Structure 1
Amino acid sequence: DGLVQRDLRRFGGGIESGFIYHHLKPLLKPLFWLPFLIYLTCPVSLHPSAVFVPPAIVFALIVAKTASRFKKYL
């Protein structure tokens, strides 16, 4: 869990940075609309899980990384 990693780093005296958070945040919006666009515009029949599961996994990884590196006081 990203928030647990952040708390462990904070209480362990680690350094927080907003750099990773601010660079990964713009990647979240395309992960919402791009799978729908691909699924609706593809001329061949695709199983929905082939289109929607990989972006969901990437979305979960990005959210975990941004939550673990988020600086509380910007």
Structure 2
Amino acid sequence: MDKRIIDQAEGLRRLLAGRASRIVAVTGGPVGVGCTTTVVNVAAALTALGKDVLVVDERADVHSAAATLAGAWLRDGERT
């Protein structure tokens, strides 16, 4: 196996050692029901409590969590 892959796995094990990890999943329906807003607010609240947070969003368009966090909800002067 490639040494870099082994090194990455070891680094992840060290990062997670001694910490209880939890996974929170938020699912929803069509665009506009508030899933991204919910996820961003939960992530912000957990971060404010000193927790490490990773947000993974399966959407790759202007309605994604990444776009929301980056302020990309404005395009051409209008809300998308």
The alignment's TM-score, normalised by the length of structure 1, stands at: 0.27
- Structure with greater strand percent: 2
